[in-house]
Structure 1
Amino acid sequence: MIELIDLSSFESKSKCCGCRACESICPVGAISMHEDMEGFVYPHVNMQICIDCDLCEKVCPFINLETNQQSKYAEACYSKDAVIRNNASSGGVFELLARDIIADNGVVFGAAFDKQLTLKHMDVDNLLDLNKLCKSKYIQSDTNGTFAKVKEFLLEDKKVMFVGTPCQVSGLKNYLGKPFDHLLTVDFICHGVPSDKMFKSYKEAEEKIRGAKMVSFSFRVKDGKVKHINGYSYTMNKDGKLKEYKGMFFDNPFYFGFKKSLILRSSCYSCLYCTPERVSDITLADFWGIEDYLSHIDFNKGVSMVLVNSNKGQFAMNKLRESIDSYQFGIDVAIKCNHCLSSPTELPKNREKLMQDYQNMPFNEFAKRHIMSKKMMIYKLYYALPITIRKIVMKKFKGIGYV
């Protein structure tokens, strides 16, 4: 049986990523997921009906971790189709992979907002709905029922592409118990996930300020008004009239808290999957710093980092060759450009106090104290500079911001 999680203990909670594999595999329904005060879910075992089969231990991605061999190289890629590239957080490789699966009568699983802006894993089998899965969402997605549905499609011999965090991919593979030739797994280089509860706290506070209902949110915006890849936008509905608001990560408390790694799940700070040996067939990420190697590329239009981790992943990428521009680099360049390929996100010293205040304070007061930037004007001036000047400034004053 899996170790019982003490919801009052950071150390205990650090041993669970909330993937729901244990809940999904339990043959008698003895495991249910309970939410802690931070909004993250953890397994609770009903000992009265548990049959000690130990299946929950066998599927746990923190107990059983199996990775592929380290990729020898990384690719910097982006779609040749400007619409697909613009519709993505980075270079549009996810959408191209997904389109290929759907064209072969397959199904794609990924994270999408529902009408209440709750992030859930859902399945898509058509191009019209595929847009829901595009772009990064910096919240832990709810995988309730997802693994069983993936297995159902696989047993029907449908092609399936599953996209998630490395721990979600690992949990799925452990749950399935055997390889499936028609399953393509895709993870991303992840520095951690905030909770849906924290996002909802931000959302409700914003709705109160605006006197309207938030009906959409995008963490990544590519347009002339937001001149950086870490811009965001959201839409408010007031009496049937829609109004869009845009900004940069540093002026949004939830986004800033995420970027500064202040509000992540406990297990993210000791993640076992921050390594170049990946659990999936293909790994996707932003290729941060690629302009240092490819000066002719406009990074703000989006450039994907792609690691091919298996023969199946190589086959899938080879099918895209005519649709992408691609440049190959050593894996050392990928590690240099993304620290979560080599080590987990560092635990903030004040996280315990921060989360205590989150539970005890109104959100706006909590945000002002802990997750609002204290250097707003510096950020505004910094991001008003051309990218070449920003890089010089960042090297001289390390830690001012993200390029």
Structure 2
Amino acid sequence: MATAALAVLLPDRLIFGTVPLSDIYYFLAMAGAALCLLRWVRTEGRAPLLLGCLLILVAQTVRYEAVFFGLVIGGVLTWMLLVERRLTLGTYLAAGAILGAFPVLWVINSWLWYGSLENLGITGQQYVAVYGHDYARAFRDLPLVQFLRSLAFNPLLLLGLGLMLRLAIADAPLRRWAWMLWLPLPLISAVTFATLSITQAASWRQASLWVLLLLPFQAQALVSIAAWLRRFRWRRWAVPALVVLALGPSLARDARIIRGGMINWQTGEPRVEREIGLHLRAELQRLGEGHVLVDSQASLDFLDVLTGTSVPERVVLSADAPPLEVALYLPMAGLYRERQDEQMIARYLTDQFSLAAGGDAQAFRQRDIRFVLVRAPEFVAGLDASPLVARERQFPGWTLYRVRPEALQVAAGAER
């Protein structure tokens, strides 16, 4: 019950329990694997080991960090097979096949699909394209540093860390379990730093797993302290104070994150992308047909607009490319210009619909564009002077235009 209470307000769980990101499956699979591995080190049974490896395989399909857990567990199993001789060859091979299946599949698939393994380094390429070889910035976003930062936000997590270390020192099976689950943290951090594979979107989530793994130990420590405090005459207010100390920091951090998500960091004003999306959905539903053209070159905020509409199939991007592809490659825009990569520039950075020149009427008609939403200043200037559209509404940071029906009719006549 204490663990559940701590988890309710924990930002690492709360965010991924409400935001539609696949990381929640990574956390779920790794938590299940941790339980299976704990059962295995206690009993050394074959079934819990293989089930734990299978759950790590599932986690590998979501986040690459799970591969490092497989490497560490593989090292432990090799030691047990060759040195301690406490593991059968059949169990060793079965566990190794499960742990290595997805990484091998991923490498083969990348080679067959792209003709090289360059795709495996896409995260590092994005970071270098945006920040260059800024190792100081990369250090601040390492999983190990993010984990230490989590301790600063919730100091009582140190109680859980201390209790886990105390129990691991006295209990050999638990010590082996702790090695398997905590050695990957510095290992992942070292590899991430060396390759600059810094996740630019919510990099703190890489450390969230270890925060979750500490919760049962933190809960046990708090329950023990609460039981000790009840021996004193001031127990009536001591235990509630302990509860406030345990839950207060997470609650405060939740409030800070929520406020941060509501404010546009660039403009300092409240985010309006969801409001814009809802407005566009209402307009498209009223028309019953047509599409909205959204500026995707200025930033990645177009993703929030697209999600807010609930009808992404009726949204066309100014890059004229799939949204996920734009989100993946747009952060490297500066690198494309530096390398003069004409193919990538044409696909993601070229004004496909001539918005800076007032819009291409024939392109609008072919894609059945009824509304245009832009934020780039050159697009706003071009459309304001264009007879093809009329300014419909102004949002903070965004301008919405309605395409004039008569202009599309003129374009249709010109095509005929």
TM-score range, shorter chain: under 0.3
TM-score (normalizing by structure 2) = 0.20
After TM superposition, the score normalised by the length of structure 1 is 0.21
Q: Choose between structure 1 and 2: higher helix proportion.
A: 2
Q: Where is the strand percentage greater, Structure 1 or Structure 2?
A: 1
